[in-house]
Structure 1
Amino acid sequence: MSTLRRLGTALLAPVLAIVVALAISALVIVLIGENPLSAVEVMLDFGDSPSQQTQAMVVILNRAVPLFLAGLAVSVAFRMGLFNIGVEGQYRLATILSAAAGAAVALPAPLHVLLIIVVAMLVGAFWAGIVAVLKVTRGVSEVISSIMLNFIALGLASFLLTGPLRGSEPGASIITTADIPESGWFPGLNGVFGALGLAEPRSELYGFLLVAAVAGIVIAVLVKRTRFGFDLRATGMSPSAATASGVDARGMVIKTMLISGAVAGLIGLPDLLGSSHHYGTEFTTGLGFLGIAVALLGRNSPVGIALGALLFGFLDRAAIPLQFEGIPASVVTIIQGTIVLAVVVANEIARRITRRQAERGGSQPASPTTGDGSTDGGQGSGGPPPDPGAAVGTGTGPGVRSGAADGTRGGQQ
């Protein structure tokens, strides 16, 4: 029964957020003179023919892969009580530099792809590392520094694209880097549809889906099953207590931001290696900010983040069919935005319900050093994922932020 209760509490926040978002969006659709049920019918229509249906699945999955990586990058920092809002700049800078590196060399296919991935991860980690160093050495809020570095990264990427790394012809309407040779392309997964007896889609399913799945497994094991993950979660709950128990809080901030940045560097690679094969002015933007919403919706759990990414991919894919039916595509943006707002409120409601249940049962919340030391209050590995609303609060509020500062000072003494 306790397992079902924990599962219900974990699912309460995201389900409530989605229901509230749909209700508000339905009200907006009614106000513009359209039928909400017609909008839902259009969103759920994947086509009549088998090829159209598989194509719709590919579009959703291809959109979900970079969103999953973005949510994963944000969630690593959330677990530490950090708010890495600089994911947008990290992946944009990492993508253009990895695209340039991939276009500049000629290597056998596996090594060529590996080089591009490594360059992207190093650039993302380096850019996130600047945020960490400023925080532990000067006490600069990671929110402020990462926002500033976003602008710097976007400006630097624009300069490189129009200057040293430009590969398109002068006067071209779309400016791009040089194309990556075919040896640097990541193979697609359309063969899976044939093996399953499904129709062949028009576009290619990104093979980078496998890399994203591996990244999710590695992060899950690292955070939940290793000493480093224990120290990370303990420091995120109470930096001063973690420092007192021998954990280097300053070092954990740097290591966590490096990991978060390295994962962020992968966000642009599904599109780069799977379809465009160059970075240009039309490259996908905004994935870093959407990753925050996906991480919140998934409650920092890789499985939850994957489901959140699929939901956002489904919503993005529905934008064009809605326009064909005369319903503004901005309805999708409204749904996504209200999900972000509703999930914060729902997380707080779920947290209070959990606390009241514990009080009625005569039990006190577990200490940070019990169980697996996760940020969900020290519950066992089978407990619900941590409250991301608390993580966001630590990124901007005075509570844990002052604790982080105390922990940092404690590490310096």
Structure 2
Amino acid sequence: MRNPANPGRIPDQTPGGPATGSPAEPCWREELLAARRRIAGIALPTPLIPSPALSERTEAEVYLKLETLQPTGSFKLRGATNKLVRLLESTSESSRVPGVVTFSTGNHGRAVAYVARRLGLRAVVCVSEGVPPVKLEAIRRLGAELVFAPTQDDAEALCARLAAEQGLVPVHPFDDPDVIAGQGTVGLEILDDLPDVEAVVVPLSGGGLLSGVGLALRHFAPGGVARPQGIAEPGGRASSRPAAATGARQSVTAPQLIGVSMERGPVMFHSLRAGRPITLPEEPSLADSLLGGIGLDNRWTFRLVRDLATDVVLVSEEAIARAMAFMLEEHGLLVEGGAATAVAALLESAAAPPDSGTSDRRVESLRGVLPWRPEGPRPKPRRVVVVVTGRNVDPRRVVSGEPLLQIPKSRGLPQP
């Protein structure tokens, strides 16, 4: 059925969730641990590796959480798995799921298609005309049906219509508690490997990943509001922390959480600045996986990002291109533009202090935390994790240096 508050919005599918008014708050601690159990065997635990190159530039211990090694090439597999497995857990044999439908900039659609095929479900993925061919082909190979719309907002409206007309279960790419909890398993694994992490930097679009990681840090990190003594609970296994972190002092305050978006059409950033969800025109960007709105009737991630993020910053297209090249040259890693935003934020902050006046080496900060500086509102962290969220980009573009040579032209973005 359609959401009565917004005919173009996919209906809420959360058990006990909202039909009208405010959503019922899940017990996030339990949801995160349950998500970790559900996704096992489909989404994989990913390694946390040190980055000597980033550590040298930032004068901190920097580690990379490699979600690029998921079977579908991005962290999105976690949330999609948790959502679909829970759906089947809660569905009786007499009311089998006819299929699922979603909208996506590519990575979430690929994840839904992958999990649906594993579980024997029909999958329909609504995409905008701006989704790169490499991502469309990956979704097709997994057997999902592709349906096209002009923009991401149009794709969301199409998703709602198909759910209503065909009885398909919608799988929202970010604004869903099951998806948020699935993405939050990234945070649990970070705490397994580096329990005294002091900052986590994540790409930010709709906010599912930042919300999930932030909830994991809040409930399980030393200094978080609900963390018991010891760090064993999230993983229940011996730590595989990088050797460089051995013997480091334990944090006494909750880790900082930094979200990073591109300068072109950063809807969450401007929504936070406005104090409410807003819409913006879509702009072409190397960070195509971060495109799209957050929904004017956003029920979960706007509030969670607002409450959990220490800061949200923007990086330029040039900075994203430099970060993609940096990851290939320094680590031999193919990284898509959306994933490179988090690396770009550290590189640009280290390259140009806020008062340097260097116009093309900068970050725009919502709350003034990044770049870290002695007189800033938060201390510079000693141990930083960058979540490298995805690798789904045409490798020929990166190897040839095309991101630096053919940065998409802006159509001009009006201020909200």
Q: Which has the higher strand share?
A: 2
Q: TM-score, normalised by structure 1?
A: 0.28
Q: Which has the higher contact order (CA 8 A, sep 6+)?
A: 1
Larger radius of gyration: 1
